[in-house]
Structure 1
């Protein structure tokens, strides 16, 4: 019997500069997520920090990761609201149909995506 995992993939890498390092980290995040999907694992993908800029880029038809991104869309649980505001990514997230999540209510911020809740629920949390 195959072991089923609960994996939360948190994408922090920045799409703004489109460096090889940033793109490679994103591709590795999507490759791991796709492996989890194919294995039937419980999977959650979130965009946090400057990673909130990625959905707008990944939604572009010409982007090299567009096809895998589209396959993984059902597993995207959202993007950090406060991070999206700080990184001027709200419009891109909204146009990509990604929910803004602020379930970690930090004073003075618009609500941050809670990573702790995944740990509390026994998920494996992997950051890229």
Structure 2
């Protein structure tokens, strides 16, 4: 069994950011498709901006996102800081605020998760 935390930090400004997002979603899907693995998919920092975009059925990577969206969570503080908190709430994505409003990376490490950032 593998425990992986895929953290999407890439913003929405550039083509390379899109590439990082897609690579992150593909990695998350690989873990999600293996029933023995445990996956945490966290949109953090500027990465929180992707959730409203990926919720749009016309987005090129909507289906890929949907394949792992039940594993998705977002940083509570960053969702507000980047102005997407309401859209994330409307999408039903859980927000995490374990460490001063942010996800606790230390807790994930303590729980033996491999941290993979995109």
TM above 0.5, one fold?
yes
CA contact (8 A) 1:56 1:95 kept: no
Kindly name which structure, 1 or 2, has the bigger radius of gyration based on alpha carbons.
1
Per-residue deviation, 1:118: 0.5
Structure 2: segments with no counterpart, 5+ residues: none
Structure 1: segments with no counterpart, 5+ residues: 106-110
2:55 maps to 1:59: yes
C-alpha deviations, 1:61-90, integer Å up to 9, x for none?
1111111111112211x2111111111111
Number of the residue aligned with 1:93:
88
Number of the residue aligned with 2:27:
32
Give the TM-score normalised by structure 2: 0.93
Number of the residue aligned with 1:9:
6
**In structure 2, C-alpha distance between the alignment counterparts of 1:88 and 1:46, rounded to whole Å:** 17
Q: Secondary structure at the match of 2:115?
A: strand
Per-residue deviation, 1:50: 0.7
Per-residue deviation, 1:39: 2.3
Q: How many residues are paired up?
A: 117
Give the TM-score normalised by structure 1: 0.86
The partner residue of 1:114 within 77, 96, 104 is 104
Q: Secondary structure at the match of 1:28?
A: helix
